[in-house]
Amino acid sequence: MQGPLAGVRIIEMGQLIAIPFSMKMLADMGAQVIRLESTGRLESYRSDSVYKNDISGEFWNKGANFYEQNRNKLGVTLDLSRPEGLGILKELIRVSDVFSENFTPRVIKNFGLEYEDIRKIKPDIIMVSSTGYGFYGPWANYGATGPATEGAAGLAYQTGYTDRDAPVMSEIPYTDYTSGEHTVFAVMAALMHRLSTGQGQFVDISQTQATSATIPEILMDYSANGRTGNRMGNQDTVMSPHGCYPCQGDDRWITIAVSNNQEWQTLCNVLRQGDWASNSRFEDDLSRWQNRDELDGLIGTVTHSWDAHELMTALQSAGVAAGVVMDSQDLLFDPHLVERNFYEVVSHHDSTGIPPLPYAGRPWKLSRTPAVKGMPAPLMGQHNSLILENMLGKTSEEVKALEESGIIGYGPTTPRPVQRPPMDEQIRQGRMQRFESDFEEQVKRTFPA
């Protein structure tokens, strides 16, 4: 299988998530993505969350986040602070369709890698820059994290518990994904345009802007009515009950959303609460919504004695929207996702000691042009000679010289592993909920290599 994007070559000068995640999605669908790395400035995802928390050996080839974000890519190391390194990057751009990066504009300008520079090398290149606030404008050079842009975009403001003052931020770099999803679309739109006109162009992704585009409920209401809402908790603006309720066990929860009277009656029936069904305070959509705090409290007292999965099945079979709040183990072994082959088992290089492992796939399936078979993220410098010799026509002597002068390399110049605390300490600190000592067998059972 080649994937629909076979023949598209992308150079990625990415870091962490925003660009690496989006380029992975394109690589999965057949684009050839060549990822640049620096041996001097080690990407933190290479050395964090390493397999079995074991930082011995080449720990930089064992990081979970790196493998997650860089599947199906080729890897080349280049020292861009030296003219030879920068020169090789420009040679690569000359034979590519897309150049993508997520550094601050200041860095890109210092390297002389703005769109106006690189279109001179490759006139029909598509260049994609992803930054916190956009490539131009007064905040252009402000560095950003996911929480910063989640706050700036207006998404955080209404997210939070109704009875607490502070907004609640995501515990992942959420806007990297929101903007990354838009980046995939943007690259595809630019490729479509190039297919019909032969023209390249510059795509300027502001992680904040892409996120603001997904909250019209908030921004249109302010724009039209001057209204600002409160922190919403898990409530909806019309539905009730609509929330997250405790179930049997430690930190187990279910979500339920009821959109009409019939579903309400069904919910009462499944939970065996005839009193609620006939209570006039809950008799229609409006009264249930007005009394939602009381109702949410009542429901929690009953769901508490249910197993979350059993309650989900009971409610869904009867026609009420309900879903278990899945933890990572539920999610990985979810029979629905497993049956849909959502997870993709990737085999790692022998030198890493990592067995074949499942990784999240994609939210789409294309019936005629499915994704390519998963290849693991590159070891550091793994494809140096492949790319320099086969693609750029350098001799093996030239490659050796580049290696000797430190322009390319196969490991970090200053290795600094990150040792996470032992698992029981992480659990004590509350950073993890629990630890399953037989996780390897569990994974192998459901996802044989």
User: How far is residue 286's CA from residue 184's CA, in Å, rounded to a whole number?
Assistant: 41
CB 185 within 8 A of CB 111: no
CB-based contacts of 353-356 (< 8 A; 24+ apart in sequence): 353/51, 353/57, 353/62, 354/51, 354/62, 354/67, 355/440, 355/444, 355/449, 356/447, 356/449
Amino acid (one-letter) located at 84: E
Spatial distance between the Cα atoms of 136 and 294, rounded to a whole number of angstroms: 49
Query: Strand pairing partners for 130?
Result: 205
If the CB atoms of residues 35 and 383 are measured against another protein, the closer one turns out to be 35
Q: Which two tokens stand for residue 66?
A: 């790196």
184 binds another protein (CB under 8 A): yes
Binding to another protein by CB under 8 A, coded x per residue (else -) over 371-400, reads ------------------------------
Residues 6+ apart with CB under 8 A from 140: 104, 105, 131, 133, 134
Nearer to another protein, 219 or 401 (CB): 219
Q: Figure out which of the listed residues 91, 159, 273, 279 binds another protein, where binding follows CB under 8 A.
A: 159
CA atoms within 13 A on the CB side of 402: 27
Stretch touching another protein by CB under 8 A, among 32-40, 83-91, 195-203, 390-398? 195-203
Name which of 95 and 168 has its Cβ closer to another protein.
168
Which of 117/221 has CB closer to another protein? 221
Q: Which of residues 329-368 bind another protein (CB under 8 A)?
A: 329-332, 334-337, 339-340, 342-343, 357-368
How many residues bind to another protein according to rule CB under 8 A?
174
Q: Report the site for another protein in 263-302 (rule: CB under 8 A).
A: none
Q: Is 109 a residue that touches another protein (CB under 8 A)?
A: no
Tokens found for residue 67: 């493998």
Residues from 53 through 92 that contact another protein (CB under 8 A): 53, 64-65, 67-68
Q: Does 423 bind another protein (CB under 8 A)?
A: yes
Q: Under the criterion CB under 8 A, does residue 304 sit at the interface with another protein?
A: no
Q: Whole-number minimum distance, CB 147 to another protein, in Å? A: 5
For residue 129, the cross-strand partners are: 101, 204
| Residue 152 found at the interface with another protein (CB under 8 A) | yes
Question: Which of 197, 248, 278, 419 is close enough to bind another protein by CB under 8 A?
Answer: 197
